Chain A
C-alpha cells in the first residue's frame, strides 16, 4: 500500500484546443501543465508531459504509468492506458466532489458533455452535444472574436449588460453572422455578450434537464473558467452550480483515477 502511494502517474488529456497534463502521486496532484494542441496531438502530449515534469522538478524515469484521454487519446503512443474523456471526467469530478455522486457538466473545446455520476464514480448515463460546435468552448471563442475581445473579456462585457440580446442560431457559423447583424443594428456589445452566454446556457440546460433533478451540479472543462457562462447557466437552470477546482485539469486527473 505504501509503495503504491509513492507511485507517480501522469494523466494526459489531449483535447481539440488544449492538451493538459496532471502528474499525480497517490491521489495528490504534484504538477500540471497546459498547452495548445496545435496540429500534432502526439507532439503536444510529449511536450506537455515534459513541461509538467519540469515544473515539478521530476525525472521522466519516475513516472510509473501514463494514461491518455481526450479526442487525441489514441495518438498518444507512449501511454500505458487509454480511457475516454467521459469516464475520466466522471472519475475526476467524483474525487474532487469528496466522493459524492453528482451531475457533471464538462464544456470543452469541441464537445459538451453532461454526465450523471453515481456511486464509485460510475457513469450512470451521459449525453454529448451533436457534431456541431454550438454550445462549446469553440463557440465562445468565435463569439469573442466577433465582439473584438477574448473569452474573459466576453464575461466582463456580459456582466455590464442590461438587456441581453437574443441569439437564436444553433449553428456557430450562423450565430457569428447573427452577432454581426446585431452589431449593425446598433445593439451594444455588452448585451450581445450576455445573449451569447444565454444561448449556450440554453443548449446545455436542455441536456441537463434530461437527467433527474436531485443531484448536485458540478462544472468543469475549459468552459468552467468563463464566469459569464457559469452565471448564465445558474440563471437558466435556476440552480447552484459548483465549479470544480482547476476545471481544465479535471479530466486529466480523472484519467489517472479511472485507470486504477
Chain B
C-alpha cells in the first residue's frame, strides 16, 4: 500500500504567528481605503453627555476621547487578558483598543459581513481609519474566535503579537503555562524595543496598577452605596477612559472625581438596583445604559469585562522573582478573567450571586451584544442558576444600532414593573436637582 504523506509545503504551515510575530503584507489591500479617523460620535453629543453629568471632573475623562491618533510609544491590545504591567515596565503605554461604536462597526462591514460580532466590526472599522497609523505593535490574545481571526486580519495594518493562552485551562495547571506565555511576551518586547525589563520595573508598574485598582474599588463602592450621584454613563466613561489613559493619570483623575462626588447631595434614588453583566460596554455605545435609565433602573453594580473585569483585580505578589511576578500576573489576568472563554459559567454565576448579596441587588440584567456568541451561549444556563437562587435574571439582546430602542424600553419597563419597582423616582429627583 502506498504510504500517505503530508504535502510538503503544508506540513509546517499550520501555526499561529506566536514565535514569529509580524506583518502580513499580502493582506494589506484589505485596508486600502483608509479614512481619516473622526471622533466616533458628534462633538455635540459628547457635550450633551458631559452636560448631563453634575460632576465637573468628568471633563478630564471626556477629553481623552478627543485624541485622533495613537502615539508611537504605545502598544495596542484587546481584552482584559494582556499584562499591562509588562508593557509599562518596558517604558511603553498600553492602550486597550476594544471599541464599540455603530459608525465604526458600519465601516468594519466593508471588511467582514454584517453578521459578525459588533465588537470585531468596530475594531476593524477603527483599523480602517488612520487612528492606528503610527501604532507599531498590537498584542492580541486568543480569547474568542473573533479575536483569533482579528489577529490575522490586523496583521495587514501593523505588527501583531498573538498571545495564545489556551482556552478553558484550569487554575492549577494553567497558571504556569500562562506565566510562560507572559514570559515569552516579555522577552519579545525586550528584543523588539531593545529595552531592559527588570523585576524592579515590573514591581513599580504593579504598584501603579494596584493604585488604579484601589481607586476603582472606591468608585465601585461609592456608586453602590450612593446611587444616582455618579450615573452609569459617567461610570462607563470613566472605565472606558482607563483603556487609553496612563494608570497614574487615571488614578489621580478618578480620586479627584470621587472627592467631588462625595460633596454632592445624596439623590435618594428609589429605582430597583441592577447588577449589569455580560458583553463589554465601551464608550460611546451606551444605548443599554440610556434605555435602562429611561426605564428607571439603576445600575448599582456591574460585572463586565470592560469595567469590573478590567480593573477590579490587583496583582498579588508572593515572590519578587521574575517567575513569581509572572505567576502573579497570570493569576490576575487569566485565572481572574471574566471572559466566558476562560471562566466557567458556574463560577460566573457564583460571582453574580455574591455581588447581588453584597450590594443588595434586586435583579441581574445580562447584556448580550447580538452575535457576541460566547456571552449568548451561557445566558439561559445563568438564568436557570440565578432563578433557583431567587434572583430575577433578564437577558437583553441587542446591537449597536438604535432602531430597537422602543422595544428595549418596553421590555425593561415591563421588567421593572415585574420586579415591583416604582416608576421614575430616581429621574424625578435628578430633574428637581437640576
By the criterion CB–CB under 8 Å, are A85 and B410 in contact?
A: yes
The residue from A87, A111, A125 contacting B407, defined by CB atoms under 8 A apart: A111
Query: Is B417 located at the chain interface by the 8 A CB criterion?
Result: yes
A84 and B403 CA atoms in complex are apart in Å by: 19
Q: Is the CB of A131 within 8 A of B403?
A: yes
Nearest Cβ in chain B — how far from A138, in angstroms?
A: 13
Within residues 34 to 92 of chain A, which ones have a CB less than 8 A from any CB in chain B? 71, 82-87
Q: Which of A83-135 contact B (CB under 8 A)?
A: 83-87, 110-111, 122-126, 128, 130-131
| B410 contacts A86, C-beta separation under 8 Å | yes
Q: Please indicate the chain B residues that have their CB under 8 angstroms from the CB of A71 in the complex.
A: 406-407, 410
Q: Are A84 and B407 in contact, with the CB atoms below 8 A? A: no
Contact residues of B between 353 and 406, Cβ < 8 Å to A: 397-398, 403-404, 406
| Shortest Cβ gap from B381 to chain A (Å) | 13
How far, in whole Å, are A111 and B406 apart by their CA atoms in the complex?
11
Residue of chain A at shortest CB distance from B424? A82
Is B414's beta carbon under 8 Å from chain A?
yes
Q: Shortest Cβ distance from A96 into chain B, in angstroms?
A: 19
A83, A110, A111, A125: the one contacting B417 at CB < 8 Å is A83
Identify which of B403, B404, B406, B410 gathers the most chain A CB atoms within 10 Å of its CB: B410
Q: A71-B410, A131-B407 in contact; A126/B418 too (CB < 8 A)?
A: yes
B190 proximal to A (CB < 8 A): no
Q: How far, in angstroms, from A124 to B394 measured CA to CA in the complex?
A: 12
From A84, A123, A125, A130, B410 is in contact (CB under 8 Å) with A84
Kindly list chain A residues whose C-beta atoms are within 8 Å of the C-beta of B417. 83-84, 86-87, 123
Instruction: Give the contacts of B187-238 with A (CB-CB under 8 A).
Output: none
| A86 and B407 contact, CB distance less than 8 A | no
Q: Does the CB pair B410–A128 fall under 8 Å? A: yes
The interface residues of chain A lying within 8 Å CB-to-CB of B406 are: 71
Q: How far is the CA of A98 from the CA of B196 in the complex (A)?
A: 79
Known: A83-B417, A84-B417, A87-B417. A131 touches B404 (CB 8 A): yes
Q: How far is the CA of A85 from the CA of B397 in the complex (A)?
A: 20
Tell yes or no: B413 within 8 A of A by CB.
yes
- The interface residues of chain B lying within 8 Å CB-to-CB of A84 are 410, 413-414, 417
Q: Does B147 belong to the interface (CB within 8 Å)?
A: no
How many angstroms between the C-alpha atoms of A82 and B411 in the bound complex?
14
| Alpha-carbon separation in the docked complex, A130 to B403 (Å) | 12
**Alpha-carbon distance between A184 and B407 when the two chains are bound, in angstroms:** 36
In angstroms, how far is the closest chain A Cβ from the Cβ of B32? Answer: 32
B residues less than 8 Å from A126 (CB atoms):
414, 418
Residue of A nearest to B413 (CB): A84
List B contacts of A131 (CB < 8 A).
398, 403-404, 407
A219 to chain B, nearest CB (A): 19
Docked-complex contact A130 and B397, CB < 8 angstroms = yes
A5 vs B254: C-alpha distance in the bound complex, in angstroms? 57
Q: A123-B418, A126-B418 are in contact. Are A111 and B410 (CB under 8 A)?
A: yes
Task: Give bound CA distance, A130 to B371, whole Å.
Answer: 13
Q: List B269-324 residues whose CB lies under 8 Å from chain A.
A: none
Contacts of A124 in B (CB 8 A): 418
In the complex, what residue of chain A is closest to B416 when comparing beta carbons? A84
Given the contacts A111-B410, A128-B410, A130-B397, A86 and B404 also touching, CB distance less than 8 Å: no
Residues from chain A with a CB closer than 8 A to the CB of B403 are 131
Within the complex, the shortest CB–CB distance from A125 to chain B, in Å, comes to 8
A83 to B296, CA, bound (A): 13
Does A123 lie within 8 Å of B407, measured CB to CB?
no
Q: Report Cα–Cα, A85/B414, bound state, in Å.
A: 8
A125 closest partner in B (C-beta): B418
Give chain A nearest CB distance to B425 CB in angstroms.
Answer: 14
Across-interface contacts of A83 in B (CB, < 8 A): 417
The reply to whether B397 and A86 form a contact with Cβ atoms under 8 Å apart is: no
Query: In the bound complex, how far is the Cα of B417 from the Cα of A128, in angstroms?
Result: 15
For A84, A111, A122, which residue has the most chain B Cβ atoms within 10 angstroms? A84
* Candidate in A85, A125, A128, A131 with the most chain B CB atoms within 10 angstroms: A131
Closest B-chain residue to A258, C-beta based? B417
Bound-complex Cα distance A96 to B398 (A): 34
Q: Which residues from B are CB-within-8-Å of A122?
A: 418
Nearest CB of B to A152, in Å: 28
Bound complex: CA A31 to CA B325 (Å): 76
Q: Which residue of B lies closest to A131 (CB)?
A: B404
* Identity of the chain B residue whose Cβ is nearest the Cβ of A111 in the assembled complex: B407
Q: List 23 A-B contacts (CB under 8 A).
A: A71-B406, A71-B407, A71-B410, A82-B423, A84-B417, A85-B414, A86-B410, A86-B411, A86-B414, A87-B417, A87-B418, A110-B407, A111-B410, A122-B418, A123-B414, A123-B417, A123-B418, A124-B418, A126-B414, A128-B410, A128-B411, A131-B404, A131-B407
Given A86-B411, A124-B418, A128-B410, 16 more A-B residue pairs with CB atoms under 8 Å apart are A71-B406, A84-B413, A84-B417, A85-B410, A85-B414, A87-B414, A87-B417, A87-B418, A111-B407, A122-B418, A123-B414, A123-B417, A125-B418, A126-B414, A128-B411, A131-B403
The 6 closest A-B pairs by CB, nearest first: A86-B414, A131-B404, A84-B414, A123-B418, A87-B417, A84-B413
